[in-house]
Structure formats: structure tokens, C-alpha cells
Amino acid sequence: MSIAEISSAPVYVTTADQPLAAAAREMCARGVGALVVIDTRDAQPRPVGILTDRDIVCGQVTRRADLHCLTVDDVMTRNPLTLCADAAVSEAIQAISVRGVRRAPVVDRSGVLVGIVTLDDLLPALAQQLGELAGIADAQARALPAAVAGASTRRPA
Amino acid sequence: MKVGDLCRRDVVSVSADAPLSAAAQLMCEQQVGAVIVTAAPADGPIAVGVLTDRDIVRAQLEGTAALSEIRVADVMSREPLVLTEDEQLDEAVRRMRVRGVRRAPVVGAGGALTGIISFDDVLAHICANLAALACLTGRQSRRQDDLTTYQI
């Protein structure tokens, strides 16, 4: 299973020069916990940062400044981990666990933003695989008594 | 497995009377996205709410007051799902799903706050069980290989 199959699209974006309050308002309106910050100098959107609720709160604390006086650039996390859309789910899990992040922008082979993948997207993918495995075990357990019953009827009297 | 066996005892909590600036500072220092809000009656602290980083941001967008001028009690989620230590874990997870919450305060028999359990704690627990199972099946299949070798 590839990242492209499980990542969320559309992905909501902002730019580094935006007022932080505007980005925060966008997050609230969209009901998302993160925006991908994209480079405006390029015609194609390329991720340069990520902005989360945590960044907004902690950015204000460390900068001793109010939300309304800051820009996205002041508090965003730079150089985010990006995942290639055709990477396997297991590669993605390895990469996010090494970086210790819960979400990562997804890019195509030329680095253009195409989506975002979160822990919440990865978990159902794994749970589904696990469910399939449990299904095999369950089917075999059900088949066993039938096979035994079949064997006993064929036994000569 | 009971909630009390898995929950964390190092609860990051803040008083309902505290200003949001203090809660924000605490959340950043402790690197958590949510804190349990407590009130302190004479017989021990009780959980009266949960405050997340999103609650703080939303409060800032709704008004013009500075963080130091807003009280935690004014923006927290009230009447949180409260789990008891002796509750079975699967039942607790079901209740968390029904309420749509990722974390819940845990209380002892007397109702006093004693811990917190989160989505991440439960996930880690399930994964540890799965890893133990995988280890077991790995050992068994090796033993199977040994037996096959002997038969030859």
C-alpha cells in the first residue's frame, strides 16, 4: 500500500508571510490541526514548513508576543519531513517515527505538494491489514471442524 | 487490563482559576497539547475540564483580550469524560470513542484525580501486545523448522 492511497487531499496551505491570526482562523474554519506552509516564489506549491496549534501556542510563549503581532514565519516548524506519494506505508511509518512527528506533507517526485499524511491516516491502514490477518485465522478456525466432520463421515463403518 | 494499570500518573494539570498564559507556558514546558483542569476541594483535586492548545487559539481569535486576561475556566471543555482506575481498558476505549476524545482524566475510588490516559498510551499498549504475539509466532515457526529438520 502506498502513501498516495491513504493521504488526505485537499491539503490546506498558508504562506510564511501571512499574519498568524489569519492562518489560525483558517485552521479553525477548516477544522484541521495543521497547515502546510508553501513557498510563494515557485509557481508549483512546495512545502517549506508546517504550522500546528502547538506551534501557535508555543511560538507566542517563546517570543513573548501575541498571536495578532506575529506572522506564520515567526512560529512555523521549518524544513518539515516530506513523504513521497509512491513511498510504501511502512517507509512512511519508519520516517515519521525517526523524526518524531505525527504528520508530514506528501510530495510528488518533483517535490510538489500533493497531500498530507497523518498518524490518523496510517493507523486505519495498519488496522485494516491486521483485520485481514485476523480474518485468515478466523476462516481457518471455522474450516477445521468442518474438515474433521468431513473426515469422520468418510471413515468406513 | 484495567485503566489504572496503564494510565500515566504524572498528570499535567492546571487550576481552573489560572490565566491562559500560565496554561500555555505549562503546555510548552511539558510538551503536551492538552492539560487536565482541576478544582481543589478540601478532599483532593478533581478534574473539571480539559484544555487543549486549540482551545487557547480559538479563545484568542474570538476576543481581543490578552492570554493573561482570560481564565482557563472560560475556554476549557467542561464535564470531561472521567474514567475510573478499576474500569476495564476495552470499556474505557469504547467510552472515549463514543465521546470522541483522545484523552481522559482518571480518578481513584474516592473520585480524586490520580492519572490520565491517552489515545497514544492505548496504542502503545496494543502495539506491545502485537509485538509480543509476533515474537511468539516467530519462535514457533523456528521450532517448526527444527522439527522438520529432525524428521528428515
pLDDT per residue as tens digits for the range B24-57: 999 999 999 999 999 987 767 889 999 999 999 9
Using 70 as the pLDDT threshold, list the residues of chain A that sit under it.
146-157
Per-residue pLDDT, A95: 95
Per-residue pLDDT, A146: 66
How many CB atoms are closer than 10 A to CB A122? Answer: 20
Q: Could you give the CA distance from residue A43 to residue B37 in angstroms, rounded to a whole number? A: 46
A70: left (phi over 0), alpha (psi -120 to 50) or beta: beta
Closest partner CB to A28 (pick from B27, B33, B58) = B58
Q: Please give the average pLDDT of every successive group of 10 residues along chain B, which has 152 residues.
A: 95 95 96 93 84 96 90 96 96 96 94 93 92 80 62 53
Cα B45 to its chain centre, rounded Å, is 17
The grid coordinates of residue B14 equal 492546571
Q: Could you give the CA distance from residue B57 to residue A54 in angstroms, rounded to a whole number? A: 9
pLDDT in tens, A19-35: 999 999 999 999 999 99
Across the beta sheet with B34-39, the strand order is: B13-15, B34-39, B46-52, B77-78
CATH number of the domain that A85 lies in? 3.10.580.10
Number of domains in chain A: 1
CB-CB contact of A118 with A100 (8 Å): no
- Asked if residue A157 belongs to a domain, the reply is no
Taking an 8 Å cut-off on Cβ atoms, the answer to whether A24 and B57 are in contact is: yes
Write A134-139 long-range contacts (CB < 8 A, 24+). Answer: none
Q: Does B22 touch chain A (CB under 8 A)?
A: no
Give B57's contacts in chain A (Cβ within 8 Å): 24, 27-28, 53, 56-57, 67
CB-CB contact of B9 with B3 (8 Å): no
Range of the domain at A108: 3-152
Per-residue pLDDT, B133: 87
User: Measuring CA to CA, which residue among B74, B90, B76, B24 is closest to residue B47?
Assistant: B76
User: How far lies A70's CA from each of A63, A73, B35, in Å?
Assistant: 9, 8, 25
pTM of structure: 0.84
- Asked if residue A10 belongs to a domain, the reply is yes
Helices within chain B (DSSP H only): 3-6, 20-30, 53-62, 72-75, 89-99, 119-151
Per-residue pLDDT, A50: 98
Single-letter code of the amino acid located at A76: M
Per-residue pLDDT, B141: 64
Q: Does B41 touch chain A (CB under 8 A)?
A: no
Across the beta sheet with A34-38, the strand order is: A13-15, A34-38, A47-52, A77-78
Q: Does B12 touch chain A (CB under 8 A)?
A: no
Per-residue pLDDT, B97: 96
| Residue B83 DSSP label | E
- Asked if residue A116 belongs to a domain, the reply is yes
Chain A, residues 108-147, CB within 8 A of chain B, namely 123, 130
Inter-axis angle of helices A53-63 and A20-30, to 10 degrees?
150
- Asked if residue A122 belongs to a domain, the reply is yes
Taking an 8 Å cut-off on Cβ atoms, the answer to whether A130 and B130 are in contact is: yes
Across the beta sheet with A83-84, the strand order is: A83-84, A103-107, A113-118
- Asked if residue A79 belongs to a domain, the reply is yes
